[in-house]
Amino acid sequence: MSSGRIKKPVTRRGRRALDAREPKTIENPKKTLIMEGRKCSHEIRQALKDMNLFKKPLVSLMRRNNDVTMFEDATPLEQLAKSNDCHLFMFGSSSKKRPNNLIFGRIYDEQILDMVEFGIKQYKSLQDFKSEKISAFVKPVIVFNGYKWKLTEELRRIRSLLLDMFHIDDVSTIRLQGLEHVLSFTITEDLTILMRSYRIMLKKSGQRTPRIELSEMGPSMDLTIRRTKLASDDLYKTAMKQPAILKVAKRKNISRDELGNVHGRVHVGKQDINVLQTRKMKGLKKTAEERKADRVKWKQGKAAAAAAGAADSDGNGSDQEYDGGDGGMDVDSDE
């Protein structure tokens, strides 16, 4: 429990609730707050109901209409998100100026980090598709199609927001039979976002790997970008910062290829192959003739070295005698 709390818990239940909201190294899955505005159309109500079914049980649905203007004063929404412990929100409304209005956003440090206002051009609910549905609390495979997602910083932030909105939890391993749901976001030339939902069906292929087919199950939405409110670069960088304990330490001379295989590089100094100790095998042992030849060669080399040493000593002695003779001759000449 944090020592810097202003509000102290009174009961055990309150203490557990406050402990659950404390910052953690590995955060809990984010909950989403879904609420309706003062006026809503049938398409907006149906869209929020379908999003509620998708995100259960990590969702908190507000049953009554709320008179909130998100881009002018979002204080009521921030208070509701704090009381319900939600870090994501969906807000639907409809007016004559902005019909079929849907706002996605996320919250950091009990304040709105960024939010994007979309207009629904075309919508088909889950009920309009008669295909088989998926089971509850299934982690979706999220796919972004289109090269324009990386063109501007605004589109990159919208992509990050959509990924955060429909992401449930990180997984380390994947089971093929556990893949049931695909969410596809395609951006067109006129910056219209096509949201499609598919159910994955595994068919027999005659091989070990099954054949995969996609069946559209809804909901289907065509979204246009209206207004955006994005965080500053410094605040966005602070919100995305991860604890140092979660960062993977970089290892030298180790890399991965496109298939995920690990490649390592080992630096070895210059080695003399003649003195390397290899595996001892009976088939590589020297024969008796080879050992005898080695001994003879060693003795010959030793004898040659001794003879060379004796010759050097004889040469030094002859030089000394010659020096003495020269001295005697010099004395006779002087006389």
- Whether the pLDDT of residue 1 is over 50: the answer is no
- Burial tier of 187 (Cβ tally within 10 Å: 0-12, 13-18, 19+): buried
> What average pLDDT is seen over the chain?
84
- Burial tier of 157 (Cβ tally within 10 Å: 0-12, 13-18, 19+): middle
- The CA-CA-CA angle for residues 184, 187, 189, to 5°, reads 155
Please give the Cα distance from 2 to 12 (Å, whole number). Answer: 15
Indicate the pTM of the whole model: 0.69
CA atoms within a 13 Å half-sphere pointing along the CA-CB vector of 330: 6
Question: Can you tell me whether residue 317 is helix, strand or coil?
Answer: helix
Residue 126 inside a domain? The answer is yes
Check if the beta carbon of residue 225 is closer than 8 Å to that of residue 238: no
**What's residue 4's pLDDT?**
52
Per-residue pLDDT tens over the stretch 52-106? 988 888 899 988 888 888 888 888 889 999 888 899 999 999 999 999 999 999 9
- Whether the pLDDT of residue 325 is over 60: the answer is no
For residue 140, whether the previous peptide bond is cis, meaning omega lies within 30 degrees of 0, is no
Residue 272 inside a domain? The answer is no
Residue 312 inside a domain? The answer is no
Residue 152 inside a domain? The answer is yes
Residue 256 inside a domain? The answer is no
Check if the beta carbon of residue 107 is closer than 8 Å to that of residue 165: no
Structure confidence at residue 21 as a pLDDT band (50, 70, 90): confident
Instruction: Please tell me which residue, 332 or 17, carries the higher pLDDT value.
Output: 17
The CATH number of whichever domain residue 141 belongs to comes to 3.40.50.10480
Residue 84 inside a domain? The answer is yes
Domain encompassing residue 88? 15-240
Please give the Cα distance from 24 to 30 (Å, whole number). Answer: 13
- Whether the pLDDT of residue 322 is over 60: the answer is no
**What's residue 5's pLDDT?**
54
- Percentage with pLDDT > 70 across the chain: 90
Structure confidence at residue 321 as a pLDDT band (50, 70, 90): very low
- Whether the pLDDT of residue 220 is over 50: the answer is yes
- Whether the pLDDT of residue 332 is over 50: the answer is no
Residue 91 inside a domain? The answer is yes
For the chain, what is the domain count?
1
> Which of 172-186, 192-206, 235-249 has the weakest average pLDDT?
235-249
Residue 56 inside a domain? The answer is yes
